[in-house]
Amino acid sequence: MFRIPRFNNDDTDVDALVARADAFFSARRMTDAIVAYRQVLSVRPRDAHALHRMGLACVHTDDMERARGYMEQARQAAPDRPELWEHAGLLAALMGDHEPAEAFYRRAISLAGSTASLHRNLGDCLRQTGRLTEAMIHYETSIGIDPRLHHAIRALARIHAQLGQLDSAAHYWRSAWTLEPASLNDGLGLIAVLAKAGRTHQLGNTITQIRTRFAGDAAALKALAFVLNTNDRFNDALSVARQGLAIDPHHPLLHHNAARALSICGKIAESRPHSMEAAQLLPDNPHMQFHLASVLLGLGEFAEGWKRYKWFYDLPDRQKETVRPIFREWNGESVVGCRFLLVGEQGLGDEIQFIRFAEWLHRQEATVDVLVSKPIAELATSMTGVQTAFTTVPPGPYDYWCYMIRMPEHIKLDISMLPVAMPYLTATPDKSRQWRSRIEAISSGRRHANGKRVGIVWAGSPNHVLDRYRSIRLDALKPLFGLAGVTWYSVQKGNHERESESLAHEYDLHTLGPAVNDFTDTLAILQTLDLLITVDTSVAHLAGAAGLPVWVLVPAYSEWRWLTNRTDSPWYPSMRLFRQRELAEWDPVVKEVQAALQLWRDAPATRLCAH
């Protein structure tokens, strides 16, 4: 370490020490620089240069509070030096104090006038506080001064993308990438906004540019495949992943991206080897293991699939949401004479599907309570196997508890054991009478004489990560509504529940959704109908669990529970599946349903078996 020499208290000696301290600072020997600047300050306590450099050195050694103190002293010693205010702003922003940072930058601008770096830094500060329009003004000012200021151009691209101004975002991403053609992130940013804007031709050219520019870089191709998957360009993502795997055949994330693209396109069997390889290469990664679990279950490989499904609980976004009661967790032990808490989770459809295991436990002579979402609780009380349904963790005590979706693993569930219990849900008599009376009133006119009653649901929850592929536009179902001899009843809930009202003048279509308060209403309605036609949503599970005829329009990506290449469901014997062959292509599915509906309408039976 530097030893401070003895010196006389005169300007020459102090200046020499300042020079030595500056040399240490320039060489990034910050500990030595701090010692030297401290000696300078012992003689010249208001030396703005030493105070400023001392503050910067403290930043480099992660001593932020001390850095802030020295910076403040430097500004007090030389309040007219703009760089002191700019650096104070940078420090405040680094510490997350954006309000004072803004004030420091504005003071620096008042002293120095407009500089590219000051307007860029002020833009950063404003962007961090959500004042995007103001931030854009300062970024634009900065590139007006310095057109090659890459940081500001990239920031403008991100803001325009955030505001949904996709063409402007593409312009700035393209400008940033032109300035730094080796920047993969700029190319990926451009890919994302072009995909969202639907600029197919430009997107294809940009993908080709990246694939060519980074042709030998497996990591870059992995990043490109990920962005393409994220932006629904699944075929492109698969092609890029395969290009990367030709370079690095054992890259786990390339395999994972290939597996994801294939799965979403409905090619589950082709996805399997990629998913297996990714899981083997990253045995502790929850995403890889859970994806493989879903693939295996979708292929009917239940034994291994259920074992791996427990990785679901290690996914980062699930750990905060998961309820874990304090009682002993069940791992397959005998439950004869035990009090058992069966815990619901995930979506409403999942709870409806897996609450059947309360009946299985009841048959094993357990006393079963369930912890479920509020919409499911009243349904659960109708089950013979459920003693009490709770919506918050009950005090107990219980001998065991188990997540519903862990039950198959512990009972070694195989397809041959399904459906386990059927039917296991039923409407209350009061609700059934109420809705039967209402629907009979609608159906009593000559127009509906001897007609079939069919329920319809066309949209799931918009919060589902792939809802854009499972939900259908209502007007795409018009070929069904025009079929004579069928009266339609919309049991759609949520944001779309009133859409069917606009078609009432054109079709024999009645909107019930606004009058439906909960699942007990929905189930009572379904019990008065001859058939339900629905997308993959909780109402499909509800009908299936009640043993009611239901046709489900399944997207190509399909959830594992619907397996592959089947028109029936072992989970629900009364269900028939109509499968999409190409992602987002619903017209062929609707035509298939229309043909089946005509045959069903003309059949002599008044109610329909699922097959």
Q: What is the pLDDT of residues 395-425, one digit of tens each?
A: 989 999 999 999 999 999 999 999 999 999 9
Residue 80 phi, psi dihedral angles, 5° rounding: -100, 10
pLDDT number for residue 316: 86
Closest CA to 257 of 234, 280, 289: 234
Q: Is the pLDDT of residue 202 over 70?
A: yes
Note the pLDDT tens digit of each residue in 118-146: 999 999 999 999 999 999 999 999 999 99
| 532 contacts 454 by C-beta, under 8 angstroms | yes
Q: Which pLDDT band, with edges at 50, 70 and 90, does 607 fall under?
A: very low
Closest CA to 424 of 572, 530, 205: 572
Q: Is the pLDDT of residue 610 over 60?
A: no
Q: Which pLDDT band, with edges at 50, 70 and 90, does 309 fall under?
A: very high
Note the pLDDT tens digit of each residue in 149-190: 999 999 999 999 999 999 999 999 999 999 999 999 999 999
Note the pLDDT tens digit of each residue in 314-329: 988 775 667 889 999 9
Q: Is the pLDDT of residue 604 over 90?
A: no
What is 28-64 written as a DSSP string? T-HHHHHHHHHHHHHH-TT-HHHHHHHHHHHHHTT-H
Q: Which pLDDT band, with edges at 50, 70 and 90, does 288 fall under?
A: very high
What is 127-138 written as a DSSP string? HHTT-HHHHHHH
pLDDT number for residue 319: 58
Closest CA to 572 of 546, 537, 607: 546
Q: Which pLDDT band, with edges at 50, 70 and 90, does 464 fall under?
A: confident
pLDDT number for residue 606: 47
Q: Which DSSP category does 530 fall into?
A: S
Q: How far apart are CA 51 and CA 67, in angstroms?
A: 9
Entry pTM = 0.87
Q: How far apart are the first and last CA of the chain?
A: 85
Q: Is the pLDDT of residue 592 over 90?
A: yes
Q: Is the pLDDT of residue 447 over 70?
A: no
pLDDT number for residue 66: 94
Ramachandran class of 420: left when φ > 0, alpha when ψ lies in -120 to 50, beta otherwise: left
Closest CA to 469 of 191, 238, 234, 200: 234
Note the pLDDT tens digit of each residue in 216-263: 999 999 999 999 999 999 999 999 999 999 999 999 999 999 999 999
| 185 contacts 210 by C-beta, under 8 angstroms | no
- Encoded tokens for 303: 């034994």
- Encoded tokens for 428: 């209350």
Residue for token digits 């808490």? 341
Cα-based angle 481, 573, 466 (whole degrees, multiple of 5): 60
Task: Give strand pairing partners of 552.
Answer: 534, 577
pLDDT number for residue 445: 60
Question: In three state form, how does the secondary structure of 73-127 look?
Answer: HHHHHCCCCHHHHHHHHHHHHHCCCHHHHHHHHHHHHHHHCCCHHHHHHHHHHHH
- Encoded tokens for 236: 């492109």
pLDDT number for residue 4: 44
Note the pLDDT tens digit of each residue in 12-60: 688 898 999 999 999 999 999 999 999 999 999 999 999 999 999 999 9
How does the average pLDDT of the chain come out, rounded? 93
What is the arithmetic mean of pLDDT over 346-375? 96
Q: How far apart are CA 350 and CA 580, in angstroms?
A: 22
Q: Is the pLDDT of residue 444 over 80?
A: no
pLDDT number for residue 13: 83
Q: Is the pLDDT of residue 497 over 70?
A: yes
- Encoded tokens for 297: 């279950």
Q: Is the pLDDT of residue 3 over 60?
A: no
Q: Which pLDDT band, with edges at 50, 70 and 90, does 576 fall under?
A: very high
